[in-house]
Amino acid sequence: MIELDLRRLRFLREFAERGTLAAVATALGYSPSTVSQQLALLEKDVGARLFDKAGRGLRLTDAGRLLAQHAGVLLSAAEAATADLAALGGDIRGTVRAGGLQSAARRLLIPAVARMKSDHPRVRVEIFEWELEQSLPGLRLGTVDLVIGDEYDGHPRPARPVCASPACSKSR
What pLDDT, on the 0 to 100 scale, is given for residue 158?
Answer: 58
For every residue of 18-31, DSSP letters joined together read H-SHHHHHHHHT--
Q: Which helix (H) or strand (E) holds 127?
A: strand 123-129
Q: Which residues contact 62 (CB under 8 A, 6 or more apart)?
A: none
Divide the 172 residues of the chain into consecutive groups of 10 and give the mean pLDDT of each group. 92 93 90 96 96 93 96 90 81 81 82 86 83 80 81 62 46 40
Q: What are the backbone angles phi and psi of residue 5, rounded to the nearest 5°?
A: -90, 120
Q: What is the pTM of this model?
A: 0.65
Q: How far is the C-alpha of 43 from the C-alpha of 64, rounded, in Å?
A: 9
What pLDDT, on the 0 to 100 scale, is given for residue 172?
Answer: 38
Look up residue 72 and give its amino acid: G
